[in-house]
Amino acid sequence: MEELRTEETAARLCLEFLILAASRSAEAREARWSEIDFKAAIWTLPPERMKAGQSHRVPLPTRAIAILEIMQARRAGGDFVFPSAVKPSRPVSEYPLHKLLPSGVTLHGFRSSFRNFCAECASYPRELAEEALAHRVGNAVERAYRRTDLLEQRRQLMEAWAQYCTGSIAENVIPLSAGRR
In this prediction, residue 178 carries a pLDDT of: 45
Crossing angle between the packed helical segments 62-74 and 151-166, to the nearest 10 degrees? 80
pLDDT tens for 37-59 read 999 999 999 999 998 888 999 99
Taking 60 as the threshold, does the pLDDT of residue 170 lie above it?
no
Question: In the chain, what percentage of residues exceed pLDDT 70?
Answer: 86
| Set 12, 29, 57, 111: catalytic member | 111
In this prediction, residue 116 carries a pLDDT of: 94
Half-sphere exposure of 6 (CA within 13 A, CB side): 4
pTM given for the model: 0.86
Active site residue 24: yes
Q: Set out the domains of the chain in order of their start, with CATH numbers.
A: 4-166 (1.10.443)
On whether the CB atoms of residues 121 and 176 are closer than 8 A, the answer is yes
Distance CA(37)–CA(44), nearest Å, equals 8
| Set 24, 29, 56, 155: catalytic member | 24
Active site residue 56: no
φ, ψ dihedrals at 83, nearest 5°: -75, 155
Report, as an integer, the average pLDDT of 122-133: 89
Active site residue 135: yes
